[in-house]
Amino acid sequence: MVELSFNNIKKYLDATLVFQNLSFNIYDNERVGIVGANGCGKTTVLKMISGIEEMTRHDDGWMCIPRGKSIGYLEQVHKYPENYTVRDILNISFEELIEIEGEMKSLENEMASLTGEELERTLKRYSYLQQAYEAKGGYEKEEKMSRVCKGLKLEETFLNKEFKVLSGGEKTTVILGKILLETPDILLLDEPTNHLDMESAEWLENYIKNYRGIVIIVSHDRYFLDNTVSKIIEIEDMECKTYKGNYSDFVKQKEEDMLQQFHQFKEQQKKIKSMEKTVKDLRDWAIRADNNKFFRRAASIQIKLDKMERIEKPKFEKQNMKMNFNSTERSGKEVIVAKELSKGFEDKVLFKNSDMLIQYQDRAALIGANGSGKTTFLKILLGEEVADGGTVKIGENVKVAYLPQNISFNNEELTVVECFREDINILEGKAREFLSKFMFFGGEAYKKVKHLSGGERVRLKLSKLLYEDINLLILDEPTNHLDIESIETLENALEEFKGTIFFISHDRYFINKMSNRIIEIDNNEFVKYEGNYDFYKKEKIKSKEEVVEQPKVKKEKVKREKTVDENKKLQKEVTKLENRIAVLEEEISKLDEKMNSIGDDYVELNELHIQKEELNKELEKAIEEWTEYENKIVNM
């Protein structure tokens, strides 16, 4: 069943045409990814669905969204009252439930003094509210809040922070949590993984897989799209096309479509040339024979030619950076060497007595949770930070180029060619020739630096770094703020590089494609994995399984090490808990009997229900503690 559709939409933003003839259908419970170059209108589509961006008299087409469907949009601008904490923002999701709770409490107080018909009406209203509260998930509210906070790593101390003091990334994560708690019928996510670490991104993937409702995602995170969506809508040349499957399926299908289009283009060109030749021959015959019949035939064929819908020749080869690294002098075998390296800040240790070795032609990705010390390690490596202990050094004959996470230039008012020549003694003509290898053609070389896109800034920075031959590239989040096309351009260029690449990235697709080695900062150590991201994931799953399935020999050894006194203490606690569990179960059973015998006295039923809920919580806690003690005894 179609739940949402765009039908021949033409949209202007001020005087700029964003897209035209945009048409697609989205069905109930579908997960859809929207992709395309920066500025193609992806975010505009989300804003139109959410109602933030409306159709004007200059626009055309129509959009269909079923009435009564709730919509949640991960907004980029966050405005809330000054004194709101993170917890207050998240609790906005439960406003309706909080209102129902308030009315129920008010009715409970009123019912104590009501009689007759008035009491009957109030009881009916109370019963209706109770059913609505349960239907809207009121009894699972706390569990839901806990699950989302844990998944997005919103710790208890963080929940009490004022929202206004948070960074932009932290605010976006909080708003994401708020929207997930609201569970709207249509969930709109604009770059949801931008500020999440890998663990939180993977949690969000699983959350979306089990989400009840439509999910529409705009993202440059190709790994995330691969694991969440079943349909891709690509916006290109102000129009769109729909593909079934995830992002990788879309790439294959698009390539196949282009091959088919190229075949159709060639066949049509043959037909056009044949028709053009026929028109020419008929006109020649008409002139020679002075016969208007040939002119009429030629005119008829020409009309068909003019009306023919021409198939465009597909562009297989995208413009790419043409960097020649063949002449680069190679470095020594050991490129980056860290020995017994330690670093911490105040009471937080980042890494301790840890070793790392990066060798010539390695493609090594440094990964780890946010705050684990990845950027700090780079700063130590580049001499911007001092280690607490141990050493880290660059190897022999290593020529380094560093691409930072946030790219800036000394003077943003300069043109591209002026910025390139700023620290280099080179003629303008030669500079433009070199810049053309980085896709700055013609007038683009005279564009001001301040007007460059994220991808263009990366290309300009790389051109400055790579003017001199280098054999070690250090990259800090190189795909941040780039669209997919720019990321793929960068990947293609890096694949030609003959030296060593050492990089930090949260982009799992990029890591998978570029790395042959993963180094994870885990438990204050550098842990090495000889493979790409998929290999790393398999190894992590395997290691978790090994921890769960501990050998029996190890358990026996642990048992022998436990003292008799400890065993007696544990047995004593188990007995206490067993007695407590028995008492609670008996009390719950008595409450059940009482509730069955009351009938329609909703006030007393509600009171007994609340008592039962409290006892059930106590029982669950007691059983949980009993299980923990039993496990300790078994493992002794």
Q: What is the mean pLDDT of residues 55-62?
A: 90
- In angstroms, what CA-CA distances link 20 with 9, 46, 115, 605? 6, 16, 65, 60
Identify the weakest region by mean pLDDT among 45-59, 420-434, 448-462, 535-549: 535-549
How is residue 153 annotated by DSSP?
T
Q: How many domains does the chain have?
A: 4
Asked if residue 621 belongs to a domain, the reply is yes
pLDDT at 157 over 50: yes
Say what the pLDDT of residue 402 is: 92
Asked if residue 398 belongs to a domain, the reply is yes
Say what the pLDDT of residue 551 is: 54
Say what the pLDDT of residue 565 is: 65
pLDDT at 600 over 70: no
**Same domain, residue pair 564 and 532:** no
Q: Are 254 and 262 in contact (CB under 8 A)?
A: no
Report the alpha-carbon distance of residue 317 to residue 319 in Å, rounded.
6
Confidence grade of residue 320 (pLDDT, cut at 50, 70, 90): low
Domain that holds residue 113: 80-182
The share of the chain scoring above pLDDT 90, in percent, equals 44
Q: What is the mean pLDDT of residues 215-232?
A: 95
Confidence grade of residue 634 (pLDDT, cut at 50, 70, 90): low
Asked if residue 510 belongs to a domain, the reply is yes
Q: DSSP letters along 439-467, please?
A: T--GGGGGSBGGG--HHHHHHHHHHHHTS
Identify the weakest region by mean pLDDT among 121-135, 229-243, 555-569: 555-569
**Same domain, residue pair 347 and 294:** no
Asked if residue 327 belongs to a domain, the reply is no
Confidence grade of residue 48 (pLDDT, cut at 50, 70, 90): very high
Asked if residue 316 belongs to a domain, the reply is no
Highest-pLDDT range among 21-30, 535-544, 579-588: 21-30
pLDDT at 552 over 80: no
Say what the pLDDT of residue 286 is: 87
Q: Compute the half-sphere exposure of residue 245: CA atoms within 13 Å on the CB side of its CA.
A: 9
**Same domain, residue pair 418 and 344:** yes
Q: What is the mean pLDDT of residues 478-488?
A: 83
- Checking 440-446 for CB contacts under 8 A at 24+ apart, the result is 440/416, 444/416, 445/415, 445/416, 445/417, 446/415, 446/416, 446/417
Could you read off the pLDDT of 232-279 as tens digits, one per residue?
Answer: 999 998 999 999 999 999 999 999 999 999 999 999 999 999 999 999
**Same domain, residue pair 381 and 466:** yes
Sign of the Cα pseudo-torsion (574, 576, 582, 587, in order): negative
Could you read off the pLDDT of 396-451 as tens digits, one per residue?
Answer: 899 999 998 888 898 989 999 999 999 888 999 999 998 988 888 888 899 999 98
364 phi, psi to nearest 5 deg: -110, 130
**Same domain, residue pair 527 and 417:** yes
Whole-prediction pTM value? 0.73
Say what the pLDDT of residue 561 is: 53
pLDDT at 556 over 60: no
**Same domain, residue pair 424 and 288:** no
How is residue 85 annotated by DSSP?
B
Of the two residues 334 and 595, the one the predictor is more confident about is: 334
Q: Are 364 and 527 in contact (CB under 8 A)?
A: no
Q: How many C-beta atoms surround the C-beta of residue 396 within 10 A?
A: 10
Secondary structure tally for the chain: helices H, strands E: 21, 18
**Same domain, residue pair 257 and 354:** no
Report the alpha-carbon distance of residue 592 to residue 606 in Å, rounded.
12
Asked if residue 114 belongs to a domain, the reply is yes
Say what the pLDDT of residue 73 is: 92
Say what the pLDDT of residue 379 is: 92
The domain boundary residue, chosen from 182, 212, 234: 182
Please give the helix or strand (H or E) that residue 198 lies within, else none.
helix 198-209
Asked if residue 39 belongs to a domain, the reply is no
- In angstroms, what CA-CA distances link 620 with 580, 594, 617? 11, 22, 5
Instruction: Determine the 3-state secondary structure of 529 from DSSP.
Output: strand
Report the alpha-carbon distance of residue 269 to residue 275 in Å, rounded.
10
**Same domain, residue pair 485 and 596:** no
pLDDT at 566 over 80: no
Q: Are 499 and 471 in contact (CB under 8 A)?
A: yes
Confidence grade of residue 293 (pLDDT, cut at 50, 70, 90): confident
**Same domain, residue pair 519 and 563:** no
**Same domain, residue pair 410 and 467:** yes
Q: What is the mean pLDDT of residues 288-301?
A: 87
Could you read off the pLDDT of 166-184 as tens digits, one per residue?
Answer: 877 788 889 999 999 989 9
411 phi, psi to nearest 5 deg: -135, 105
Asked if residue 427 belongs to a domain, the reply is yes
Q: For residue 36, what are the contacts with CB-CB under 8 A and spacing of at least 6?
A: 42, 234, 235, 236, 483
Report the alpha-carbon distance of residue 276 to residue 281 in Å, rounded.
9
The domain boundary residue, chosen from 514, 543, 572: 543
Q: What is the mean pLDDT of residues 189-198?
A: 88
The domain boundary residue, chosen from 508, 543, 578: 543
**Same domain, residue pair 580 and 503:** no
CATH classification at residue 420: 3.40.50.300
**Same domain, residue pair 171 and 303:** no
Say what the pLDDT of residue 346 is: 82
Q: What is the mean pLDDT of residues 323-344?
A: 80
Say what the pLDDT of residue 602 is: 65
pLDDT at 326 over 50: no
Identify the weakest region by mean pLDDT among 182-191, 318-327, 473-482: 318-327
Q: For residue 49, what are the contacts with CB-CB under 8 A and spacing of at least 6?
A: 4, 63, 65, 71, 73, 186, 188, 216
Could you read off the pLDDT of 24-44 as tens digits, one per residue?
Answer: 999 999 999 999 987 889 999
The share of the chain scoring above pLDDT 70, in percent, equals 92
Confidence grade of residue 627 (pLDDT, cut at 50, 70, 90): confident
Q: How many C-beta atoms surround the C-beta of residue 224 within 10 A?
A: 27
Identify the weakest region by mean pLDDT among 199-208, 562-571, 584-593, 604-613: 562-571
Of the two residues 615 and 514, the one the predictor is more confident about is: 514
pLDDT at 211 over 60: yes
Single-letter amino acid code for the residue at 506: H
Say what the pLDDT of residue 219 is: 92
